[in-house]
Every structure is written in C-alpha cells, then in structure tokens.
Amino acid sequence: MDATRIIAIRHGETSWNATGRIQGHTDIPLNATGQAQAQQAAQALADETLAAIYSSDLQRAWQTAQALATSTQTALHPEPGLRERCFGVFEGRTFAEVAQSHPEDSHRWRKRDPHLVFPGGGESLLQLRERIAATVQRLAQQHVGEQIALIAHGGVMDILYRLATQQDLQAPRTWALTNTAINRLLWTPQGLSLVGWGDVRHLAPGALEESFS
C-alpha cells in the first residue's frame, strides 16, 4: 500500500497560550514550560525512525521541532504551509477583548462559521483546510513507505483530525489539542486516517529525565 506514516505535534506552551492571547501568525517563542514540554516529547520519540521533520517556520513550532530533530538525529525543514491560521487584527488580543470590540465576528467565530475571514488579512476555516490538506499531501507524497513528523499549531492539529475522521468544519470539537501531544496519522492517496490521538504520557510528572531538571 502507498502510505506515509505521520507523527503530528502541536508546539509547546508560550506565554500567550498561558494568558489566553490569540497568536496566529504572530511569532511568539516558547516559555519555560513549553521548552520543557518540547524536550519531553523529543525524549519520548527518540527511538522513532523519521525520514524528515517538517515544521511551521514560526518559532514556537520551530523550537519544538529542533528538540525532536536533535533527539532523533533527523533533518529538519521549515514549512510555512504548516503555519497557524491567520487571525488578522485579532492577534495579540484575548477572546474577551475580541467579543467586546467585534461582537458579530466573535459570534460567527464561536459558531465556527467556515466563511468568516478576520479583519486585517485573516484566514477562513475553508482557506485553512485547503492549505493544510494541500501541504500534507505534498509532503506525504515525498515519503511514501516512510515516517515523517509535522510540527505545527492547534488550528492545524484540529484540521488534521477533521480530515482524518471526515468531520465537518462546523462540528463541535470533542478532541484535545494539548501542547506537544503526540498524534499519529496515516496518509494514502485516498487521504488521511487516524491511528492515535492525544498521547500525553510523556507530560506526566517525572516523565522528564533528571538530567533536564
């Protein structure tokens, strides 16, 4: 079977994650917790054989990917197609601030309106899905019979799950998008399928080796 195995990982925590600020394309680095999470995920996957690692070029994903590249001794490649959804002028604000300043857009966002484009050059859910589907297909086609890792963002992970389970963009989310959770998918020419989702055993207390503490 023409198949590519995929390990998909959301980046580690940032200070904006911790304070509920919308990041999008704004380039925020990992905080100390996120750096530890990246090391824990890298350590958990150290024995995996990877043909390549592709990461969003935003530094919170890139820093997470660098830890995995070091632990697995795998080549790391920047991939702008794996960036988070662009939220336009809402980036840097909290959800409460958006609800106050743009109540109609906030309502459509909560309802997961697939056509909503955020003011200031934002991206709709339909545009995001098209971008992620095309990027994953392009990368997976280069590694048939191999395993690759994709390091990206919460919005990207959400789209990957929906593509793999054929869930509509407006379906309520019932799956977790935890920082550095390990997710596994299989790509074939027919599309994505789900192998495993939301593995966070490496984030349990004591999972990180004492040498890192």
Binding site per annotation, positions for substrate: 10-17, 60
Exposed / middle / buried, residue 36 (Cβ in 10 Å: 0-12, 13-18, 19+): buried
Nearest to 63 by CA among 19, 32, 91: 32
Q: What is the dihedral of CA 196, 151, 164, 46, to 10 degrees?
A: -30
Rounded CA separation 122/22 (Å): 12
Residues in binding site: 10-17, 60
Nearest to 27 by CA among 68, 61, 55: 61
Rounded CA separation 183/179 (Å): 11
Nearest to 10 by CA among 187, 161, 195, 140: 161
The H or E element containing residue 132 is helix 125-141
Known catalytic residues?
A: 11, 84
